[in-house]
């Protein structure tokens, strides 16, 4: 039986059209590394042809490295340029870019273009699956959340912004309880308390304002914290609201990405026009083309990161993905502290350690129980499967 399974495996490798993805009964999501595991897979799946051959069985560490480098690299570039655009002056006049919604618009335009290309390449249906108003409902809350995220960098440091995003699980749990009637176990509440405590320590025991801030730093920091609360509230609501609105629809991922980002593009455009910021924003980037290049690179890196996230979740599930995302957030804080000179006190480092320790504990504790299927929808969140829960809607 082992020899027969190995022959079938060799044939699949030679055809170069398969990639194996298996749930071995030993690991609850691990991949077969022996003939016995392959036999178990063939028996368990009714002797059907292995449809996912080549990648994981042949050189799994290369694929894992590909996912790690793709996610960490893309999103660290995104975070770095996000802070640079929103906090650093441009040109000899040292002008600062202040049009957060313009960044949101460019981000959504690039994501929308990628979704169109993906649908054309895959020859997937382009027509909307759900009523259009549902896409607009999700898009509106997501645009507000993303605007708050960018705008907050004018008033608080990037390390605080990144650490606060780790607390996204708390509004997700709250909205999930009231909207979806979900219930959470003691471990979820413990992690939420630890993350809250770590963020509180970071806030209380050191400077959390921007390194290039205004004269009234305390007032601007309070306003920045209010913006971050707005981000957490709207982003957590978006994830839960999307689950409720799109439940019961069989959506292709890129189809949903297309209509949500197209709706976000329209909302961003209306916001820019109504606030009279289109002209000033275009004038700024025409005077400082390096700023426009940073915004386009930021948007492309964000979209690329979401595509890597989708691939990682499809190939390896939420466990590896959550570990990568937690590591990426910690590395982003380190990079910001080094490049943009954000000195942290030892109490802030302890608070940071508590937050990421809690997230790693929640992620690694999932190894003890089988993984649940992850919904491949399109938006981000920060807690295990909820960490970037809907990976194709950019932040």
Model confidence pLDDT, tens digit, residues 356-394: 888 888 877 765 555 444 333 333 333 333 344 444 455
The domain spans of the chain are 59-388
Given a cut of 70, whether residue 162 has pLDDT beyond it is yes
Taking residues 333-343, what's their average pLDDT?
Answer: 83
pLDDT of the residue at 345: 87
pLDDT of the residue at 36: 36
Taking residues 194-211, what's their average pLDDT?
Answer: 78
What lies within 8 Å, CB to CB, of 42 at 6+ separation is: 5, 8, 48, 50
Question: How would residue 209 be classed by pLDDT, with cut points 50, 70 and 90?
Answer: low
Rounded to 5 degrees, φ, ψ at 224 are -65, -40
Q: For residues 261-290, b (16+ Cβ closer than 10 Å) or e, as one string?
A: bbbbbebbeebbeeeebbeebeebbeebee
Taking residues 13-24, what's their average pLDDT?
Answer: 38
- Between 154 and 385, residue with greater pLDDT: 154
pLDDT of the residue at 381: 35
pLDDT of the residue at 176: 77
Residue in 294, 287, 315 with CA at minimum distance from that of residue 103: 294
Tens digit of each residue's pLDDT (9 = 90 or more) over 236-283:
788 777 777 777 778 788 888 899 999 999 999 999 999 999 999 999
Question: How would residue 217 be classed by pLDDT, with cut points 50, 70 and 90?
Answer: low
Given a cut of 70, whether residue 80 has pLDDT beyond it is yes
Q: Rounded distance, CA 82 to CA 156, Å? A: 13
pLDDT of the residue at 237: 80
Mean pLDDT of the residues in the chain: 76
Do the beta carbons of residue 140 and residue 267 sit within 8 Å?
Answer: yes
Which tokens belong to 102? 């313009």
Given a cut of 50, whether residue 27 has pLDDT beyond it is no
**Residues of the chain with pLDDT > 70: what percent?**
73
pLDDT of the residue at 93: 86
On whether the pTM is more than 0.75, the answer is no
* Distance from the first to the final alpha carbon of the chain: 50
What lies within 8 Å, CB to CB, of 350 at 6+ separation is: 198, 201
Which tokens belong to 315? 């190939």
What lies within 8 Å, CB to CB, of 364 at 6+ separation is: 323
Q: Rounded distance, CA 229 to CA 340, Å? A: 24
Which residue has tokens 């948007």?
299
Query: What secondary structure, in 3-state letters, does the chain show?
Result: CHHHHHHHHHHHHHHCCCCCCCCCCCCCCCCCCCHHHHHHHHHHCCCCCCCCCCHHHHCHHHHHHHHHHHHHHHHHHHHHHHHHHHHCCECCCCECCCCHHHHHHHHHHHHHHHHHHHHHHHCCCCCCCCCHHHHHHHHHHHHHHHHHHHHHCCCCCHHHHHHHHHHHHHHHHHHHHHHCCCCCCHHHHHHHHHHHHHHHHHHHCCCCCCCCCCCCHHHHHHHHHHHHHHHHHHHHHHHHHHHHHHCCCCCCHHHHHHHHHHHHHHHHHHHHHHHCCHHHHHHHHHHCHHHHHHHHHHHHHHHHHHHHHHHHHHHHCHHHHHHHHHHHHHHHHHHHHHHCCCCCCHHHHHHHHHHHHHHHHHHHHHHHCCCCCCCCCCCCCCCHHHCCCCCCCCC
pLDDT of the residue at 240: 74
Q: Rounded distance, CA 302 to CA 74, Å? A: 7
Q: Rounded distance, CA 131 to CA 123, Å? A: 22
Which residue has tokens 């390449």?
121
Tens digit of each residue's pLDDT (9 = 90 or more) over 277-305:
999 999 999 999 999 999 999 999 999 99
Candidate from 144-148, 295-299, 332-336 with smallest mean pLDDT: 332-336
């Amino acid at each position: 039986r082992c020899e027969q399974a190995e022959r079938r495996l060799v044939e699949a490798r030679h055809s170069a059209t398969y990639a194996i993805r298996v749930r071995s009964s030993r690991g609850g999501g691990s991949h077969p590394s022996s003939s016995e595991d392959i036999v178990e897979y063939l028996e368990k799946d009714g002797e059907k042809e292995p449809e996912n051959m080549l990648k994981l069985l042949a050189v799994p560490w290369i694929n894992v490295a590909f996912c790690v480098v793709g996610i960490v690299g893309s999103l660290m570039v995104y975070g770095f340029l996000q802070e640079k655009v929103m906090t650093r002056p441009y040109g000899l006049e040292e002008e600062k870019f202040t049009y957060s919604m313009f960044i949101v618009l460019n981000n959504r335009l690039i994501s929308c273009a990628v979704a169109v290309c993906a649908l054309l390449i895959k020859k997937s249906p382009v027509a909307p699956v759900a009523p259009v108003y549902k896409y607009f409902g999700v898009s509106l809350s997501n645009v507000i959340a993303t605007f708050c995220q960018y705008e907050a960098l004018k008033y608080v440091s990037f390390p605080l912004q990144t650490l606060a995003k780790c607390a996204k699980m708390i509004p997700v749990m709250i909205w999930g309880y009231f909207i979806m009637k979900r219930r959470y176990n003691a471990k979820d509440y413990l992690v939420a308390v630890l993350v809250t405590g770590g963020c509180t320590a970071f806030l209380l025991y050191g400077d959390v304002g921007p390194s290039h801030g205004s004269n009234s730093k305390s007032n601007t920091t309070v306003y920045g914290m209010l913006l971050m609360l707005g981000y957490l509230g709207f982003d957590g609501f978006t994830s839960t609201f999307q689950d409720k609105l799109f439940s019961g629809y069989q959506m292709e991922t890129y189809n949903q990405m297309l209509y949500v980002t197209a709706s976000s593009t329209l909302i961003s455009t209306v916001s820019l026009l109504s606030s009279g910021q289109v002209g000033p924003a275009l004038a700024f980037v025409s005077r400082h083309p390096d700023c426009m290049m940073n915004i386009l690179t930021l948007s492309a890196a964000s979209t690329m990161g979401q595509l890597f996230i989708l691939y990682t979740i499809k190939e390896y599930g939420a466990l590896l993905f959550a570990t990568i995302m937690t590591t990426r957030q910690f590395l982003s804080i380190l990079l910001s502290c080094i490049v943009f000179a954000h000195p942290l006190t030892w109490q802030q480092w302890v608070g940071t350690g508590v937050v990421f320790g809690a997230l790693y504990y929640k992620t690694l504790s999932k190894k003890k129980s089988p993984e649940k299927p992850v919904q491949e929808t399109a938006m981000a969140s920060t807690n295990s499967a909820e960490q970037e829960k809907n990976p194709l809607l950019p932040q």
